[in-house]
């Protein structure tokens, strides 16, 4: 899926949209933890969820500094990110992890675009690069675990 998050013309809108994306991701992580049977995979997904919670904390801090009211939950897209996890769970853990890996593609793309967006100040671009690295690590693990 192609995302426009990270391409916004204002830093304020970028931070707001990244927060929506992160809240959607956290909802998908919660659903994944609920649906997985493998305790090792559950633990790893919970660890990755912690990265997303850290991203939310930093984005919320940025929003506050900008005078933007930070979203506290996802948007309508959350139904898509969590719905595919529910459907995948009918097949098994590997399919759940494959579904989650597809969610990570959009989050990686958003942070990559934000890191290169001139609307974001340099310190924010640094945070976005680190968040991209987190998402890349999450996806790589999910791809590997789903293939095993």
Domain-by-domain residue ranges, the chain?
11-147
**Per-residue confidence (pLDDT) for residue 126, from 0 to 100:** 98
User: Which residues are CB-contacts of 148 (< 8 A; sequence separation ≥ 6)?
Assistant: 94
37: tokens are: 């049977």
What is the Cα–Cα distance from 47 to 53, expressed in whole angstroms? 10
Which of 11-25, 72-86, 122-136 is predicted least confidently?
Answer: 72-86
Higher-pLDDT residue of 110, 87: 110
8: tokens are: 């916004």
**Per-residue confidence (pLDDT) for residue 94, from 0 to 100:** 75
Cβ atoms within 10 A of the Cβ of 21, count? 27
What is the Cα–Cα distance from 138 to 148, expressed in whole angstroms? 16
For 54-108, the pLDDT digits (tens) are: 999 999 999 999 999 999 876 555 455 555 555 545 455 677 788 888 889 999 9
Which CATH code of 1.20.1260.10, 3.40.50.970, 3.30.1490.190, 2.40.40.20 fits the domain covering 11-147?
1.20.1260.10
User: In 3D, which of 82, 128, 79 has the Cα closest to residue 108?
Assistant: 128
Judged against a pLDDT cut of 60, whether residue 109 lies above it is answered with yes
**Per-residue confidence (pLDDT) for residue 88, from 0 to 100:** 46
Mean pLDDT for the chain overall: 88
**Per-residue confidence (pLDDT) for residue 23, from 0 to 100:** 94
């Amino acid at each position: 899926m192609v995302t426009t998050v990270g391409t916004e013309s204002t830093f304020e809108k970028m931070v707001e949209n990244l927060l929506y994306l992160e809240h959607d991701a956290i909802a998908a992580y919660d659903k994944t933890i609920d649906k997985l049977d493998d305790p090792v995979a559950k633990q790893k997904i919970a660890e990755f969820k912690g990265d997303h919670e850290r991203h939310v904390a930093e984005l919320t801090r940025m929003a506050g500094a900008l005078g933007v009211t930070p979203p506290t939950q996802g948007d309508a897209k959350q139904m898509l990110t969590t719905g595919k996890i529910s459907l995948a769970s009918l097949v098994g853990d590997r399919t759940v992890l494959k579904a989650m890996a597809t969610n990570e593609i959009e989050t990686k793309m958003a942070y990559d675009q934000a890191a290169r967006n001139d609307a974001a100040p340099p310190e924010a671009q640094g945070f976005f690069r680190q968040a991209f690295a987190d998402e890349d690590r999450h996806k790589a693990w999910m791809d590997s675990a789903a293939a095993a």
